[in-house]
Amino acid sequence: MSQSSLYVAFPASDTLRDRIDAFIDATAREPGRNHVDTLDAIMDPFLDEVLHTYFTGPIDAVNAKGPAVNVILGAMKVISKAAHGLAGRLMRKTSVEEQQALAAHFAALRLEKDGQVFIGYPLTPALAERASLVFQEFADGQGEMKRLVEVMDGISAGAIENYLDKTVGNLELGRINRGLVAGARATIKKASASSVEKGIPAMDREHRQPVVAYFESLLLDPRPAA
């Protein structure tokens, strides 16, 4: 599948940036050594910052309250429990070879522009075009909720693919852990769909435009300016 130059990305905190860089550097410097502690140190801030970006970030941006917020925060709580539980079980058991693969994965997620480190993933050209168009329609006061939900479903699916599937895809999983991953993924996918398909349409009308502007601010072209 081809990709565009447009990414969905969030600025990494200093803690997350430093821990990812430490892991990438350690695996490159000592490729035959076990770096499980350095890897494990990434997971809590990584997951917390992903969850903040997609859930509490847009809520905080408009100081929203009400039923839509309850749906979104409920979904986030479910996803947080499943994701942290899965990471805690799997990452501490990784082999040296798996850690090398995970270092490459985190290096691919790590973006940099104008001196700022971001974590993100590329949109397909079709989704990038749709997202840009729909976000602009909402900025102009002419957006359609159905089209916004379709775009946000696509962005959510990309987050699951890049932050979950491609992470655990670097691990050699036994039967029990494959079952745990499948169960966690189903839980995360269902909760994410609920947040998008129920939470976004339930937003108060005055919050829709600024929430869309928040998500538009996550679109990043990491290429240097011409």
Q: Please report whether residue 2 resides in a domain.
A: no
CA dist 192 and 171 (Å) reads 24
Q: Please report whether residue 226 resides in a domain.
A: no
For residue range 10-58, list pLDDT tens digits in order: 999 999 999 999 999 999 999 999 999 999 999 999 999 999 999 988 8
Q: Please report whether residue 202 resides in a domain.
A: yes
CA dist 209 and 87 (Å) reads 35
Mean pLDDT, rounded, of the chain: 92
Residue count of the chain, please give it.
226
Q: Which domain holds residue 94?
A: 7-220
Q: Rounded to 5, what percent of the chain is helix, strand, coil?
A: 70, 10, 20
For residue range 111-138, list pLDDT tens digits in order: 999 999 999 999 999 999 999 999 999 9
| Domains of the chain: total | 1
Residue 53's Cβ-count burial label (10 Å; 0-12, 13-18, 19+) is: buried
Average pLDDT over residues 196-217: 88
Q: Please report whether residue 1 resides in a domain.
A: no
Q: Please report whether residue 140 resides in a domain.
A: yes
The two tokens of residue 2 are 């081809």
Place of tokens 């985190």: 106
Q: Please report whether residue 193 resides in a domain.
A: yes
Q: Please report whether residue 62 resides in a domain.
A: yes
- Residues with Cβ < 8 Å from 81, sequence gap 6 or more? none
Higher pLDDT, residue 108 or 194: 108
Helix (H) or strand (E) holding 113: strand 110-113
DSSP letter at 124? Answer: P
For the entire predicted model, the pTM comes to: 0.91
Q: Please report whether residue 225 resides in a domain.
A: no
